[in-house]
Amino acid sequence: MRTRRITPWLFTGPALLALIFFLVYPSIETIRLSFFGKYGTSYVGFQNYIYAFTNQTMLTAFRNNALWVVLFTGLTVSLGLLFAVLLDRVRYEKVVKSIVFIPMAISMVGASTIWKFVYAFRPPGASQIGLLNAIVVALGGEPVGWLIERPWINNFCLIIVGIWIWTGFCMVILSAAYKNIPRQLMEAARIDGASEWQVFRKVIVPLLGPTIAVVTTTMVVFVLKIFDIVYVMTNGNYATEVIANRMYKEQFAFSHYGRAATIAVVLLILVVPMMLVNIRRFRRQREMR
């Protein structure tokens, strides 16, 4: 399109200025701050980074984020795949899909409240109003402090909340890809005597490979920055700390800007490679289309 020379800049100017002010400049400033002390005035070299990788709570946060990456990603993607493939065979597909997708609409704060109630704990003998403990007690067990039992039970319970929210997302994307697979490919395998499991392993999974990869990297990028669920349900207590919540605490509870900035940079360093893989794949897919 022919325009006057100034026109493109009038159209892009406001957006570019906002991006420079809110993303470009602050990121550079945060990298600079990560080499400075508590108030951002004295240069401290790599001291904040040494802190970030040796402090006990930070190490707990790293461990928990690793746990989130493995369990959250593994289960959202595989449950999403399960729903996508199995729901294709039944008539009530749409209803179940809506039910599984609903949690994507609500805030993680709302979802955390919902699940905190499911996990509600009262001492043995008292009547349990939390669904999970009521089931445990009805089966003859002792009530469990789901969000207090460290480090595996409570972290796992937090991760379940994330899975509950994000499985619907994986399901919708994988289902769209699944419905694009030509039916004849699966029929041919069945006629050749393949069992349903073999059809799944040898035909469906390989054909969905690129989509599974995109969904997986998207989930990893997302979960590395997980914050709301932990902030609302435990605030990182009882060994459930995660990186993003740690940064929030360093900035607001301890006002240590150097450390907070460092944790943000660490987060960036963790996220960027996954994101680059994702963008490259997106681009390749678009070229194929």
Distance CA 82, CA 120 (A): 29
Binding another protein by CB under 8 A: which of 75, 81, 242, 261?
A: 261
Rank residues 94 and 183 by Cβ distance to another protein and give the closer one. 94
Q: Is 82 exposed, middle or buried (0-12, 13-18, 19+ CB in 10 A)?
A: middle
Rank residues 155 and 259 by Cβ distance to another protein and give the closer one. 259
Site for another protein in 21-60 (CB under 8 A): 21-27, 29-30, 33, 40
CB atoms within 10 A of CB 95: 11
Site for another protein in 225-254 (CB under 8 A): 225, 227-228, 231-233, 235, 244, 247-248, 251-252
Shortest distance, CB of residue 192 to another protein, whole angstroms? 18
CA distances (Å), 287 to each of 115, 139, 174, 284, in order? 42, 56, 20, 5
Binding another protein by CB under 8 A: which of 16, 50, 66, 205?
A: 16
- The number of residues that bind another protein (CB under 8 A) is 95
Residues 6+ apart with CB under 8 A from 146: 119, 121, 130, 132, 133, 153, 154, 157
Distance CA 281, CA 289 (A): 13
Binding another protein by CB under 8 A: which of 152, 185, 272, 285?
A: 272
Q: Tell me if 265 contacts another protein by CB under 8 A.
A: yes
Q: Tell me if 18 contacts another protein by CB under 8 A.
A: yes
Q: Which three-class secondary structure string do you get for 264-279?
A: HHHHHHHHHHHHHHHH
Q: x/- binding map, residues 99-138, to another protein, per CB under 8 A?
A: xxxxxxxxxxxx-xxxxxxx-x------xxxxx--x----
Rank residues 60 and 217 by Cβ distance to another protein and give the closer one. 217
- 262-275 CB burial, b ≥16 within 10 A, e <16: bbbbbbeebeeebe
Distance CA 197, CA 189 (A): 11
Binding another protein by CB under 8 A: which of 66, 70, 205, 276?
A: 276
Rank residues 33 and 212 by Cβ distance to another protein and give the closer one. 33
Shortest distance, CB of residue 155 to another protein, whole angstroms? 19
Is 161 within 8 Å of 223 (Cβ atoms)?
Answer: no
Site for another protein in 173-232 (CB under 8 A): 173, 218, 221-222, 225, 227-228, 231-232
Shortest distance, CB of residue 278 to another protein, whole angstroms? 7
Q: What angle do CA 87, 91, 94 make, to 5 degrees?
A: 65
Site for another protein in 64-103 (CB under 8 A): 79, 83, 86-87, 89-90, 92, 95-96, 98-103
